[in-house]
């Protein structure tokens, strides 16, 4: 019987790339906000299951948990709402922490019985911003520092699980294009990591033999 992997934010970009990497070896449950957004990736990957749910609607999440046994949980969904501390509003901070930390913590909590049953591996798509904060990235970096702390605590509390924090630099995705446009810069794809490269790092972490625990993976773009 093939292992099962649930990937959030899997309709496009990095999430879709991770789904493609894991599809040959895993049964996939692909999460996103709407069923329509998942149509293309589920059609591309026959046998995958669509799980449309707003991860910040905690009652809906709890009511629709799609598995009783889970081998891999990839937390990829998140937002990047950038701005200086002077420009940032209370709502921005709340939205960022809700999407990037609280929703992750609650989905993990709800899925803990399934993860324990599957000897599961939790993969947190963090960021270079989870290791260092830059000007204009305060609320986002703070949420990613918090996500790293969540992973550290989960690793200690659940010794039967593996927990890996992936810290990629900036990735060539639609979200990155929006960020660069907001910064007023010119978009040069070769300046960023390929989504497929980060997805391969996720697969490598998942496929690490059981005698090792890959706790953190840091990737930086080379510009090549």
User: What pLDDT, on a 0 to 100 scale, did the predictor assign at position 148?
Assistant: 98
Give the helix ranges, DSSP H, for the chain. 13-22, 35-44, 58-63, 90-97, 103-117, 138-157, 174-183, 195-207
Number of other CB atoms surrounding residue 79 within 10 Å:
16
User: What pLDDT, on a 0 to 100 scale, did the predictor assign at position 223?
Assistant: 75
**What element of type H or E holds 30?**
strand 27-32
Task: Give the C-alpha distances (Å, rounded to integers) separating 138 from 88, 130, 209.
Answer: 9, 11, 37
- 117-130 burial string, b = 16+ CB within 10 Å, else e? ebebbbbbbbbbbb
pTM listed for this prediction: 0.94
Q: Which residue has the higher pLDDT, 192 or 86?
A: 86
DSSP 170: -
The domain limits of the chain are 4-219
Q: Which fold has domain 4-219?
A: Rossmann fold (3.40.50)
Report how far residue 19's alpha carbon sits from residue 215's, in angstroms, rounded to the nearest whole number.
21
User: What pLDDT, on a 0 to 100 scale, did the predictor assign at position 28?
Assistant: 98
Whether the CB-CB separation of 96 and 139 falls below 8 Å is answered with yes
Judged against a pLDDT cut of 80, whether residue 2 lies above it is answered with yes
- pLDDT 10s digits, 110-128: 999 999 999 999 999 999 9
**58 in active site:** no
- pLDDT 10s digits, 83-111: 999 999 999 999 999 999 999 999 999 99
Provide the greatest CA pair distance for the chain: 53
Catalytic residue chosen out of the listed positions 140, 145, 150, 192? 140
Whether the CB-CB separation of 94 and 101 falls below 8 Å is answered with no
Report how far residue 9's alpha carbon sits from residue 30's, in angstroms, rounded to the nearest whole number.
8
Report how far residue 29's alpha carbon sits from residue 49's, in angstroms, rounded to the nearest whole number.
5
Average pLDDT of the residues of the chain? 95
Closest C-alpha to 133, from 194, 174, 84, 195: 84
């Amino acid at each position: 019987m093939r292992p099962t992997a649930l990937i959030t934010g899997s309709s496009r970009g990095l999430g879709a790339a991770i789904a493609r990497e894991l599809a040959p070896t895993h049964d996939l449950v692909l999460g996103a906000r709407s069923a329509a957004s998942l149509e293309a990736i589920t059609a591309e990957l026959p046998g995958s299951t669509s799980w449309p749910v707003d991860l910040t609607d905690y009652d809906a999440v709890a009511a629709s948990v799609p598995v009783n046994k889970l081998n891999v949980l990839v937390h990829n969904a998140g937002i990047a709402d950038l701005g200086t501390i002077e420009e940032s509003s209370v709502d921005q901070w709340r939205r960022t922490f809700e999407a990037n930390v609280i929703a992750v913590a609650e989905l993990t909590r709800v899925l803990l019985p399934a993860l324990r049953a599957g000897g599961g591996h939790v993969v947190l798509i963090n960021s270079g911003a989870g290791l260092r904060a830059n000007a204009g990235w305060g609320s986002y970096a703070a949420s990613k520092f918090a996500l790293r702390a969540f992973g550290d605590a989960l690793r200690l509390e659940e010794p039967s699980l593996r927990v890996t924090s992936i810290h990629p630099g900036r990735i060539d995705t639609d979200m990155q294009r929006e960020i660069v446009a907001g910064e007023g810069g010119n978009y040069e794809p070769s300046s960023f990591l390929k989504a497929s490269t980060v997805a391969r790092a996720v697969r490598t972490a998942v496929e690490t033999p059981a005698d090792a625990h890959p706790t953190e993976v840091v990737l930086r773009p080379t510009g090549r």
